[in-house]
Amino acid sequence: MQRRTHRPALFPRVRQWLNPAALFLPLLLVILPLSGCATSPSILRPAGPGAARINDLWWIMFAMATVVFVVVEGLLIYATVRFGRNRPPGEPRQVYGNTLVEAGWTSIPAVILAVLFVFTLRTMAVLKVPATNPTLAVQVIGHQWWWEVRYPGEHIVTANEIHIPVGQMVPVQLNSADVIHSFWVPELQGKLDVIPGHTNVTWLEASQPGTYRGQCAEFCGVQHAHMAFLVIADPPDQYARWVASEQAAAVAPTAATARHGMDVFMASACVGCHTIQGTKAQGKIGPDLTHVASRDTIAADTLTNTPANLTAWIHDPQGIKPGNDMPDLPLSPSDVQAIVAYLQTLH
């Protein structure tokens, strides 16, 4: 008498779907991240020697992972086709342990990881800060949620924008005023943690003039995503002009609205947090505004620096970037307009 097994009707269906799913899921995982990153800064479009070395390492890892993927998936497909529907009759041969196979799947990954380890060490050695005594060094201080940028040798303080001369290696000292952040400019350099009470040093170098977006890469509170910055690589003469302009103190405005805006600014809580060199505003909590009009963005690359956005920001900083240190001040719309007119004179 033959014994019959009764399975629920669903079960063969699930099995039928399981094999294609097992094959396509890894493929999807490969393809999905590749879509939707056409415009964002990518380590695959390096614009400087540091990122170029990281890009080289990435391609080596990708090539090795591709070989592993093809071999493993190939064996999986082979097994599915060969032993799936038209499986040979009878019970398969029973195997208990196989020294050769076990030695293989232990040693092959070990060799792959060892090769990657060597490539990684070589890349890390190249990315180390060169032991030269550079003429230019930048200090970057992470705050929740913006970047203070200081050029001690040049006596410049700015925020959220780092100008560097193109083709020059610029060491960057990283410190934090509060929690751990991470400094990352994908097109120029790898990530480095920004740690309170500890100085980390990285460097930036851009091969071509341009603007490269950076981003905090370590979760640091609710506005972590709005903690971006720009690295602007200038040709040498343009860089020299930028330095000269940043070194100058703010010039008091002459137009009536801007003058009124300056009076409102100096009489309000603004001065408690912001510095404008050459005025009584010497606050140290928020970004230095001495040359705020020369910057491309405000609120750490959250908004482009336009009069409309400045107005919206001063009206409702907590609505635009909830939790940031700038309070909603009780300013009338006309006072806000006047402050915006004043800030726009600060080139």
Contact residues toward ligand CUA (CB under 6 A) are: 142, 145, 181, 216, 218-220, 224, 227
> Which is nearest to 253 in space by CA: 270, 235, 217, 278?
278
Amino acid identity for residue 241 in this structure: R
Q: How many CB atoms lie within 10 A of CB 235?
A: 13
Nearest approach, Cβ of residue 156 and ligand CUA (Å): 22
Q: Which is nearer to ligand CUA, 142 or 317 (CB)?
A: 142
Nearest approach, Cβ of residue 141 and ligand CUA (Å): 11
How far is it, in rounded angstroms, from Cα 296 to Cα 230? 9
Nearest approach, Cβ of residue 175 and ligand CUA (Å): 13
Q: Which is nearer to ligand CUA, 161 or 218 (CB)?
A: 218
Q: Which is nearer to ligand CUA, 40 or 245 (CB)?
A: 40
CB-count burial class (<10 Å; 0-12, 13-18, 19+) for 263: middle
Q: Which is nearer to ligand CUA, 105 or 219 (CB)?
A: 219
Nearest approach, Cβ of residue 279 and ligand CUA (Å): 29
Q: How many CB atoms lie within 10 A of CB 227?
A: 28
Q: Which is nearer to ligand CUA, 298 or 341 (CB)?
A: 298
Nearest approach, Cβ of residue 218 and ligand CUA (Å): 5
Nearest approach, Cβ of residue 300 and ligand CUA (Å): 9
SS3 percent helix, strand, coil of the chain, rounded to 5, is 40, 20, 40
Residue carrying the six token digits 């063969």: 12
Q: Which is nearer to ligand CUA, 176 or 290 (CB)?
A: 176
Query: CB neighbours of 340 closer than 8 A, spacing ≥ 6?
Result: 261, 307, 310, 311, 314
Beta bridge partners of 193: 182
DSSP character string of 201-255? EEEE--SSSEEEEEEE-S--STTGGG-EEEEEEE-HHHHHHHHHHHHSPPPPP-S
Nearest approach, Cβ of residue 16 and ligand CUA (Å): 46
Which of 84-92's residues contact partners 24+ apart within 8 Å by CB, and which partners?
84/19
Q: Which is nearer to ligand CUA, 54 or 220 (CB)?
A: 220
Nearest approach, Cβ of residue 161 and ligand CUA (Å): 16
* 3-class secondary structure, 56: helix
Q: How many CB atoms lie within 10 A of CB 112?
A: 15
Q: Which is nearer to ligand CUA, 158 or 344 (CB)?
A: 158
- The sign of the dihedral angle between the CA atoms of 296, 298, 299, 302 is negative
